[in-house]
Structures are given as structure tokens and as C-alpha cells.
Structure 1
Amino acid sequence: MSHAGVGPRAIMRSAAFLTAGALAVSVLAGCGSDDEASRPLAGQDIAAVSRDKVTDGGTLRWAVDRLPETLNVFQADADAGTTRVAQAVLPSMFRLDGNGQPVRNPDYLESAKVVETEPRQVVLYKLDQQAVWSDGREIGAADFAAQWRALSGKDTAYWTARNAGYDRIEKIERGADDLEVRVTFSRPYADWRSLFSPLYPKDVMGTPDAFNDGARRKLPVTAGPFRLDKVDTKAKGVVLNRNPRWWGQPAKLSELVLQAVPRDQRATALANGTVDLADIDPADVDRIDRAAQGSGGAPLLGAGRTSAKKLRDVALEQGFPADQLPEGTTTRKKITTYLREQEALRDVEVRKSLEPAYTQLALNGSTGPLADERVRRAVARALDRKALAKVVLGPLGLPAVPVGSHLALSGQPAYTDGSGSLGSQDAAQAQSLLADAGWVPGGPITEKKPDKAAGAPAVKESAGGDGTYIVGQDDKPPHRATGDDPKDSEERAAQPSASEGNAGGRRQGQDGPQHTDQHPPQGGAPGAYAPRGTAAPAVASGPLAKDGKALTLRFVLPSGPGSESLRAVADQISQMLDKVGIATEISKVPDDSYFRDHIASGQYDLALYSWPSSAFPATDARPIYAKPVPAADGSLNVEQNYTRIGTDQVDQLFDQAVATLDEDESRALIRKADSRIWAQAGSIPLYQRPQLTAVRKNLVNAGSFGFRTPLYEDMGFLKKGAKAAPGPSGD
């Protein structure tokens, strides 16, 4: 989870979590206190200054991964660029503060509160009396009602990516005057603040044609500090300019351009001035740091013709790849260009924080050894999560603190460390669990040629950014389905079906159901430790085997640029597992097939990817932890639960949390659900992702925002003679 703001959770949040339920409530209750307070591990780093120190005018060029396919955040192919546009040009009733908590947006709302709970929940919105669309029409109940009808799920002509929350609305009507909107719910909805952020005009939401096609490239009517000027497909940019009808603090910038720039070209784009702000990878952080430190501020290229040896030495010092340094005229030109870029990068700095997203190790529990909960728990107990966090965050000077919750991050109100439900690293306990599951060292092994994971060809290694793949950004999860099995219980482990299709039917573009082998019998109580007295050697004396098969797990990773940190983490995990007798076979696959052909289709044992955080876990996390249910075609609908592990008990906790209007009670239920998710050991949160933003030094009120929604009207360039506060900004 970069992401900021309350709105489009289909992009900013697709939660990543798993279900649990094998341990007794009394055990789970001891994992953390409901009153435990937390704070963000890192504040925003945006060079914050007051508006009077910001120049009026100027163009900010902001690098994004690609030109948005749509400007409608409620469509399945919306992405982070779509979110940026929506935040700058559309109303949001609520936005996120520095703790990732929704707060009223005073530019649009005078107030919003629950005014009735019986017989129905009613929320009354009082709009700012100056709030108007760019065509001069007042923002009002007609816009709220049009968005509700489009997203309610009742009219299938609207191609919507989600309808969570809107499907609970019974009616929307005008209040005492045009500035009041009354929203009546058919069922209680705790996360009502998640709705209408962003809010589109009725011109977009009023008809299926306008919703499906009209807002993909045009937004003629907006209501934010900026308005959409054009989407320039040739220049691969989205151009926003000041909204003359904006009633709030006027935008300092005259123009904001979202420019599509691949990540491996961003350092060059920053150096040549084609972008001013860009999210970057750790390798570019190192390059910018070298530029700032090199030659004590002296020019990296001499006034005259520098000798070849001197050029090579300076280039190596500045991080030029050594394998690209053979002698030759072409190489000299490349080096000279590189060093000129390094000199230009002295005008750029890196602002660091932690993203509202975390990286996890996912364990596919649908088939193979990991279908046994004891093996999953052994994997989890073998991991030193703090050491893994240090691999990525330590070199960047960011807090290397393991994430303690699947459903919230440190600083958010629902956060508490629930990892005690699973237990800390303990190699002896890991081996006891494996022994209890029948995996013993030195057992006979029947040689069998390993199967390749489905999808594109993979490059395999014997063992083993952060380039972590973020679910909910580029590959859209299947639509949500519902269904419970009331016979399941907390005391019984989830038993996924013996066969399943692709995630969510065929929406991921796969050929058909992917049938799996029958789960091996588990034996003993699910999640139980080995019987008292079971021997467990401190170090595995050889590969573990069972029924003639070695204990080897397929570890699937993306192979593209920017994934170096991710692969380093995978290598450490492989070494930790090897110490308890679990072998890993790493498969590096192309980025474009990583999620589609492996994660979503279940063709993996272990995988690393990230989930964005949410201010509304009761709504957003449920599809990720929902118990998989059979679909009409006989496949298994896993919703967004790509580990394929779930229980009715966890589903019920989410349902209870989203239906209570008592915030403390709702948070307690979320924490209880997280405890059970930990206990099931389907996904293991590792660390909060680094947020690394390269910016021109005179650009202020912009950079790494952390949880907080950006204030686009405050961004701009520092006035001459003014100074910005150094370092991270407090929240």
C-alpha cells in the first residue's frame, strides 16, 4: 500500500490478509492489549512550509508509471495515476490524516454525522455553501444519489469494480435545504466515512454510458483546486490546471502534469529536468546520494579533456556499472553523459517515509505441503522478521520494525501487534511442527522431475523494493462473492476444496480451472505442536521427506528491474527455511505474468507481494480473508484471498465489525479477527514498504506523504530566500 487519501479503495486498498481459527479464544486474547497505543513509524517528509513561502505559479511535472487507462476510480482498470487525478480535481468528503484515520474535509463539508440509528442508520451531510462544480452548479443530493445508484450493484449495466458500502444504502434525499444530504442505510454500516470519496458529478454517474465510457479520458465537470485540461496520449501526460471556480485556498501551482516515466528512466528524467518529482527505487537513492557527495561539490567533469582513466575512476565512484566500462569512444560518451547527469542530480534530494502498505510472505494453503497448517506454522516460526525488515529498510535509514498486524499499520487506530498468536522465531518449535506433520530428515526420496509453475517461462534457482508487487495497483482482483458455511467453526481448521479454478472464475484471463491434488491427511489437531517430548534437532541433519517426497516449496518472484530488494529478502527467507529442513525452489517470472499466472491462479507455494493499508479494514480486508466458496461452474471463488485459506469465524468477525457503530467495539473485533488470521499462518506480514521520493530541492509541500492525503493546493516552488524545514515533517 504510493497511496494516500480515503478514496478509491479498489486501487489504494485491496487488503492482504488471511484467516485463522484453530486456537482457542483464551490463547488469542493474550496477544495484545486493545488499549495499546501506536504511532506511525515514520512521519511524512515533504519539506513543509507555510503557503506564504511558496511561489505563485509554475509547473510541477510528477512521474507516474503509466498514462491512466481511465479517470473513473470505480472501474477495474483504474490505477495510481487515476487516484492522483481524482484527488486533485474531485470532491472527497473525508481524507486521511497522518495516522491514516479519516477526517472531515472542510473544503466540502461543514459537518457529517450519524443523526439516527433506529429504525435505520441515517447520516446527515451538511455541505460547504460555496461548494460548486466547475460549471457553476451546486454540489448536492443529486450527485450523491447518482453515485449511489451507479455503485449499488443493482444495475448491471454499470461496469463497476466494487460496491462495498453503497449496497447498504436504502435511499438518499435532500435535507432541510439544498446544502443538506440525508443518506439512509438499510443495514448498519460502520465505514460510512469511506463513501463519496471521491464524489463524481451526476453527469458521470447518471447513465451507464457516461460511467463506462464517458469518464475514461474526459472529466468536463470537476470540483477541486485543479481541473482537467487534457489527456495527452502522444506526450503520455495528464495536464491539470488551476480551477478558477475553486472556493478554497487557491492552488499555488498554475499547472500540474502527471508524466508517464518508467522507473528505470526516472533518474535521467530528473537530471534533464523533464520531471520534478518521482517515486524511485533504492538503486536511484544510492545514485542521488553519490551525486551529492561526489568530489566535494566540485564538477565531476574537468574543464578540459579528462583522461580516460580519470573518467573511469570518477564514473565508478559515481555508481556507473563496472560491466559497462570497456575501452572505446561509445563508452566514453556514455560515461560523460552519466557524469553530466550526476552533476544535475545535485539539485535533487530524496525524501523518505514509509508507505501505507506492507510486504508479506504469502503461503498457498490450497495444495501441497502448505495445505497442512502445521507446515505453514513451521514456515512462520522459522522466520526472523526483524532481520528481514533490516534487509530492506536498514540501508535506507528507515525504522526496521516488523509489521504486527494484517489489518492496520502502526499509527492507525485499529493497530495492535497480534503476532503473539503465532509466536516468534523458534527453530526447535518449527522442527517439532514438521515432525508432527510427518516430515522427517533422511527419509527415502522418490526422484521426480519438478513441474514448472503455470504461465510464462521461469528462471529457476536452487535458493534464494523494494520492488514488491502491490496487489490492487496494476492487476485488478476479481469481483467479490459472498457465502458462508455455518458448519465451520473456530475450533476446526479451514479445509479448502480439493480442486479450484482461477481466482474469481475467468476474470483474470486464464484458460480454465486449474485442478489440484487432494490434500494430504493432516493428522492431529490443526495447528497443534508436537507431543511433549518429541525430539527436534537444533539444525536439520538433512532434507526432510514424507511419503517419498522431499519437502521443497516453490518460491515465485518477479524478475523485472526494481525487484532487487525483494529478491534479497527471498534469499534470506530461503536460508532461514533451509536451517529447519525446508528446501525452496525459486522461480523468477516476468512481471506481467507474476500476479496473473501465479498468484491469482494459485501456481505457487511461497510468494512476496504487498497490500495497501486501509482506513476501513472491516470493509476492505474481508474479501481478502473471505472463506473461499464454490462457484456455479464448480471452481472455487477465492475473491481476493490468494492464499486460499479461510473460516466462517473470521468472516463473521468482519461482518460484526462493519455492522457496529461503536468505534471501540468495531476496532476490538478487527483486532480479534487479526489474531485468528495470525494463528492460521496463511500470510506473514514482514515490513512496511519504504516510500522513496526524489524531488527538486526547491519543491515544497511535496514528497513522501506517508498516510496523509496530499494537499495539492499547497504544493509549489520555494520563493527565493525562503527556507524549508529540513527532515521529516511531524504529523
Structure 2
Amino acid sequence: MDASTTARGLGRAAVAAIALALTVTGCSSGGSGSTGDVAKTVAPVQDADDINAQPLDKIKDGGELRVALPQWITQWNPYQVDGRYGDAVDIMGYVEAKIFRTDAKGVFHPVPEYLASAELTSTSPQVVTYKINPKAKWSDGKPISYQDFKAVWQSTNGKAQGYNIADSSGYDQISGVERGADDQEVKVTFSTPYADWQNLFNPLVPASMLATADVFNTGSVEKVAVFGGPMKIGSIDKSAQTVTLVRNPDWWGTPAKLDKITYRAMDYPAMTQAYLNNEIDEAPASTSTAYNQLKDAKGTRISTGTPWDEVHISFGGNGALADQTVRQAIGRAIDRDALIKVVNQGMPIQFKKLDNHLYMLNQAGYRNNSGDWAAYSPDVAKQLLDKAGWKEGAAGAPRTKDGQSLELHFVVSDGSTQQQSDMVSAVQNMLQQVGIKMDIDKVSSKEYFAKYVDQGKFDLASWRNTDSFPLSQGVTNFRAPEGDNVFGNYSKLSTPEIDSLLKKAAATLDKAEADKLYNEADAKIWELGHTIEIYQRPSILAVRKDLANEGASSLANSDITKIGWLK
């Protein structure tokens, strides 16, 4: 339940931030180097879950948890296009049927309160059989059944008219959802293999929420009519910008420890002061300014997590950058270690260099595929530019070719922090050393994506991609565009080989073989000069010391029933 996470749950979200900023609202970093001597003692590792894990017998029954919301939630249907905002998806996982949870390695496990079992029962065709816990029911008294699975599929597969869906991935590969031996057995048949089937139907919502296009689109605006989780919504107060969750009295599993969770919408800069004023119980500490204000607050621990959250520099595919050799030259001209030092100033956690586009460092299957493509060498960069026909100019002047100067534009948001600005300036200097003139074009944070990134109007640009998990969620960011649809591949750079490897990996049911294919694709993405990965962005959270089983997000999902206050 990391308040610094911008978007989570149903897919990959692009976040216009290069390094430490939580949004593009321009909160100051406090300047570079103000606390450069902070000990960096935490590194992303597998099984890292910094949540103050405690057994239930050490936790009080009752109490309230107060959490900040970065923005007001209007749409509560997680399958509707406006309902994929991360905090809304998380909360719906507490009040509806969260049928799978991931552990610290990102491995999915069925939640026993909902599923007695969920198994791949056939591979040709792919069939998944779910056996629902017979105790599982909705707040209107109806048992959770195959009808709910069927309603999610029918409303979200992209074939139903008028349903404004968030994402059809996986659902569009299902050929049928049928009743098994009884209403609590579900047989889902796929027309083509889909490896990440455990990500589907999660959270499961009642069929009544999806019954018609109108109900699907508007029936869950600022209200949730039917519940099926350990918590339920107690109130939604738009004027006070608060949402409260309370225990669901009809919950059949182990009761939640907390009586109440109160969410209050506020801007990120306000969260630090709200925490210090004892108005909320956790606050992001992911800028040096926030960290320095929060680290010594009374009764506070700093929790760090390693979520699926990466920082990269993307290359455009037009002009001089249409030449792969030029893109490869830039990859050799950029010193990623130096850039990490710039943005890592004053932080308690060591930012770790990322050498994979698809896997995080703490994710099973991670492999360094960067090879020589991102190995810093100005001399090699110059040789590649020579090879591409860009002749060296006079001292300090850019290279030229056919009478044109080698001049590129790095598009940045005007909401960037000082550390982000310092990082871009460092890139500018590095490129200058090899004969590339780089202009820094500051644009409105409100237009950064809509007018520039989404349209591919950049030579270089940087943003965070979050929650590209499970792996098939990231395929769209590197696949070939189809007509005007670029999916998430804003550079529009692709090859048939990368396309083929990614599609094959996403359809491979054997995990080891899928990992092999994804990593082969990643090596080709590095060679293509599509994106320079820089580092995995950690989450850093100030949390009350006596709050148990809660902290900064990593790859594991929170179990809301176990979060509470120590006795």
C-alpha cells in the first residue's frame, strides 16, 4: 500500500518522471548533494519485503489506518478504462474478490478464501479449471460462481459494444467460460495459449457490476453496490475527499485486524506535512526533501521496496535517429553509472542499474542482456557515428552529414525536479563530447504525454514505466505498431524478430522456456537501440513503527487482513 506508487494493478503505466519525482507537479528535490553522505544500505534483492512482518497474535484487534490518496477516485470498476488507476484497483482488491496474490518474487498464488484450486487442466487447447471456495459469496447473498467469471470475460474481451474497457489482453484469447461440475467450478478455454492467465479475473467483481454497457461504464461511479472482500466501503465523501473502508461483517475468512481504513486525497507535497502532523500513518519519502523531513520523525521507520518501476531514456525513430547505428552510438556515449549518481544524491537507498527491459532486478528470470550496447565508451560512440557518415566538426561544433548538423532534442516536463534537470544536463554534456548537439526542450507537464510522448515527437525523452507485470503486460511497449495504434511503443521502433519472440514468450506456458524467450527478445531490444534502461526505481515510505505487515511496495501484494497495530 505504497502511497508513492502512481499506477498499479491492471497494466503498465507511463509516469512522466525521470528519477525521484512522484508526479510531474514539480516538487523540489531540495538541490543536489544536500545529504550526499547518507548511508546507502538497502539494495533490491529477491524476497525483499520490508513490511515489519508480524504474527497475528502480536497485533491488536481494531484500530484505524489513515492513508493518503494522490488523487480522488471516481470510477470503481477496475475493468473500465477510468478505473485502472492504481489505488482504486488496490482498494477494490480489499473489498471484492482478490483471487490471486503475488509473493516477493512476483509468483502468483491462489487466495484460499476464494479458490480451493486453480489449475491448468489442458494445454491443447489451454483450459484452466477454477474451483471456488463454497463459502465465498457477495454481499447481496449470491454465491461467487462461474457467472461472475463469464461476465468479466464477456464485458472485457473487446467484442461487446459500448463497453469502455481498460484492457482486453488475455480476455480476447478466451474462447469460452463455462460451468463445470457445479456453479462453483469454472472452465476457461483459450483459443490461443496465454501464459499469464493467473493475472485474469483479478480482482473478480460480481456479474451485476458488468451487466450492461451502461452499468459497466457508470454503475460504479463514486459508489460500490456489492462487496465480496474482508473489507467493504463504509463511506465515500467527495466534499471531504475521503473514502473509508470498514470490516465486512459477512466475511467468511479470518477477520481483518483493522476496524477501519481512511483514505484522504491530497497532493504529494502535502503528504509530508500531513504525516508530521499525525494526520496520516504513512507518507512517501522518495525525494531527498521528503526523506530528510521524515527520517527522524518520532515513532517512524523508513521502509523501502522494489516494485516493478523502471527509469529509462527512450529514443525517437525519426531524423538522424532513424539510423540504428546512431542510436547505438548514443547508447555507448551515455554513462549510466554517472547518471545514477546524479539522481541518487541524498537518498538512503542505492539505486541499482537495470540491464533488462522486461524484468526487474528482484524478479525471477532477470538476466543482464545489455552486452556492449550500453557499455560507456565515448571512443566507440565516435567510431559508430563515423560509420554512420556523421563527420567530426571543428572543436565544440556538432558533427555534420550532407550539410546537416547532428542536433537532437531531449523533451522534458516543466515539472521536473532539480535532480531530473541535472540528469538531463549530464546527458547533454556526454553527447557533446562525441559531437552531438542536444537541445533541452521544456514543455508543459500537462502536455508532456498527450502532445509529445504519445505522438512520438521526441528524439530523447524519459519517463517511468510501472507495473509491467506479469511479463505479457510489457509486450505492447516493444511490439510493432499497427496503423495509428502504437500500443505503448511510442518510439515506433521494432523488428519482426522482436515481435515474434515476445508473442511466442507470452504464449509459452512453461516458465523456464518463456523466460528464455523474453530474455532473447530483450537482448534484441538492446541491440535495436530502442531504450536505454537506467535503474529500477525503489519505493521509499515513512511508516509508523508500530504498524505491522505494511510498508513500501515490492512485487508482493498486501494481505489487508494482516495489517494492524502492534499490541
- TM exceeds 0.5? yes
Deviation at 1:115, TM superposition (A): 0.9
- 2:175–2:191 CA contact under 8 A, matched in 1: yes
Show CA shifts across 1:33-80 (max 9, x none). xxxxx9836822222222222222222111121011311222222312
Q: Does 1:100 align with 2:101?
A: no
- 1:8–1:198 CA contact under 8 A, matched in 2: no
Alpha-carbon separation, structure 2, partners of 1:657 and 1:351: 34
Deviation at 1:279, TM superposition (A): 2.3
Equivalence for 2:468: 614
Equivalence for 1:422: 373
The verdict on how the C-alpha distance between 1:565 and 1:105 changes in structure 2, with shifts beyond 3 A counting, is farther
The verdict on how the C-alpha distance between 1:41 and 1:429 changes in structure 2, with shifts beyond 3 A counting, is farther
Matches within 5 A, 1:253-268: 253-268=258-273
Matches within 5 A, 1:359-370: 359-365=311-317, 367-370=318-321
Q: Does 1:588 align with 2:435?
A: no
Show CA shifts across 1:542-600 (max 9, x none). 42222333322211222226x33322322222222222222221122232211112111
Match of 2:490 among 638, 642, 662: 642
- 2:12–2:474 CA contact under 8 A, matched in 1: no
Match of 1:545 among 390, 400, 407: 400
The verdict on how the C-alpha distance between 1:11 and 1:204 changes in structure 2, with shifts beyond 3 A counting, is farther
Larger radius of gyration: 1
Alpha-carbon separation, structure 2, partners of 1:588 and 1:276: 36
Equivalence for 2:50: 45
- 2:15–2:463 CA contact under 8 A, matched in 1: no
Q: Does 1:413 align with 2:266?
A: no
Alpha-carbon separation, structure 2, partners of 1:371 and 1:5: 32
Match of 2:415 among 539, 546, 560: 560
Alpha-carbon separation, structure 1, partners of 2:116 and 2:536: 35
Show CA shifts across 1:674-730 (max 9, x none). 1111111111110011201122232222121211101111112222xxxxxxxxxxx
Q: Give the counterpart letter for 1:150 in structure 2.
A: S
Equivalence for 1:519: none
RMSD across aligned C-alpha pairs, in angstroms?
Answer: 2.4
Deviation at 1:175, TM superposition (A): 1.4
Deviation at 1:12, TM superposition (A): 9.3
Give secondary structure in 2 for the equivalent of 1:586.
Answer: strand
Q: Give the counterpart letter for 1:609 in structure 2.
A: W
Alpha-carbon separation, structure 2, partners of 1:215 and 1:185: 29
Q: Give the counterpart letter for 1:386 in structure 2.
A: D
Q: Does 1:716 align with 2:564?
A: yes
Equivalence for 1:114: 120
Q: Give the counterpart letter for 2:171 in structure 1.
A: Y
- Structure 1: segments with no counterpart, 5+ residues: 17-37, 293-344, 444-539, 631-635, 720-731
Equivalence for 1:352: 304
Equivalence for 2:40: none
Give secondary structure in 1 for the equivalent of 2:442.
Answer: strand
Q: Does 1:381 align with 2:387?
A: no
- 1:225–1:251 CA contact under 8 A, matched in 2: yes
Match of 1:625 among 439, 460, 478: 478
Deviation at 1:188, TM superposition (A): 1.8
Equivalence for 2:36: none
Equivalence for 1:701: 549
The verdict on how the C-alpha distance between 1:383 and 1:410 changes in structure 2, with shifts beyond 3 A counting, is same
Matches within 5 A, 1:149-188: 149-188=154-193
Give secondary structure in 1 for the equivalent of 2:298.
Answer: helix
- 1:108–1:127 CA contact under 8 A, matched in 2: yes
Matches within 5 A, 1:56-75: 56-75=61-80
Alpha-carbon separation, structure 1, partners of 2:6 and 2:189: 28
Q: Does 1:675 align with 2:511?
A: no
Give secondary structure in 1 for the equivalent of 2:343.
Answer: helix
- 1:408–1:613 CA contact under 8 A, matched in 2: no
The verdict on how the C-alpha distance between 1:219 and 1:239 changes in structure 2, with shifts beyond 3 A counting, is same
Alpha-carbon separation, structure 1, partners of 2:497 and 2:233: 46
Alpha-carbon separation, structure 2, partners of 1:111 and 1:231: 35
The verdict on how the C-alpha distance between 1:596 and 1:13 changes in structure 2, with shifts beyond 3 A counting, is closer
Show CA shifts across 1:375-423 (max 9, x none). 1111111122223223334632323321111111123223211101625
Equivalence for 2:11: 9
Equivalence for 2:350: 399
- 1:42–1:398 CA contact under 8 A, matched in 2: no
Equivalence for 2:31: none
Matches within 5 A, 1:198-217: 198-217=203-222
Show CA shifts across 1:124-144 (max 9, x none). 111122211122221110100
- 1:3–1:356 CA contact under 8 A, matched in 2: no
Show CA shifts across 1:477-524 (max 9, x none). xxxxxxxxxxxxxxxxxxxxxxxxxxxxxxxxxxxxxxxxxxxxxxxx
Alpha-carbon separation, structure 1, partners of 2:56 and 2:446: 42
Show CA shifts across 1:75-130 (max 9, x none). 22231221221221121222211012222222221211111223x22111111222
Matches within 5 A, 1:174-573: 174-282=179-287, 283-289=289-295, 292=296, 345-365=297-317, 367-393=318-344, 395-420=346-371, 422-442=373-393, 542-560=397-415, 563-573=417-427
Deviation at 1:13, TM superposition (A): 11
- Structure 2: segments with no counterpart, 5+ residues: 19-42
The verdict on how the C-alpha distance between 1:716 and 1:140 changes in structure 2, with shifts beyond 3 A counting, is same
Give secondary structure in 1 for the equivalent of 2:311.
Answer: strand
Q: Does 1:126 align with 2:131?
A: yes
- 2:9–2:90 CA contact under 8 A, matched in 1: no
- 2:481–2:489 CA contact under 8 A, matched in 1: yes
Alpha-carbon separation, structure 1, partners of 2:378 and 2:389: 17
Q: Give the counterpart letter for 1:8 in structure 2.
A: L
Alpha-carbon separation, structure 2, partners of 1:394 and 1:169: 48
Deviation at 1:7, TM superposition (A): 4.0
Give secondary structure in 1 for the equivalent of 2:306.
Answer: strand
Percent identity between matched residues is 35
Q: Give the counterpart letter for 2:433 in structure 1.
A: K
Show CA shifts across 1:662-683 (max 9, x none). 2222221111111111111111
Show CA shifts across 1:211-253 (max 9, x none). 1100122111121111112221111122111111122221111
Worse-superposed segment, 424-433 or 47-56:
47-56
- 1:559–1:588 CA contact under 8 A, matched in 2: yes
Worse-superposed segment, 397-406 or 209-218:
397-406
Alpha-carbon separation, structure 2, partners of 1:97 and 1:111: 17
Alpha-carbon separation, structure 2, partners of 1:715 and 1:677: 41
Deviation at 1:4, TM superposition (A): 11
Show CA shifts across 1:401-457 (max 9, x none). 2111111112322321110162511111101111112222226xxxxxxxxxxxxxx
The verdict on how the C-alpha distance between 1:178 and 1:6 changes in structure 2, with shifts beyond 3 A counting, is farther
The verdict on how the C-alpha distance between 1:243 and 1:12 changes in structure 2, with shifts beyond 3 A counting, is farther
Q: How many residue pairs get matched?
A: 538
Q: Give the counterpart letter for 2:517 in structure 1.
A: L
Give secondary structure in 2 for the equivalent of 1:396.
Answer: coil
- 1:111–1:126 CA contact under 8 A, matched in 2: yes
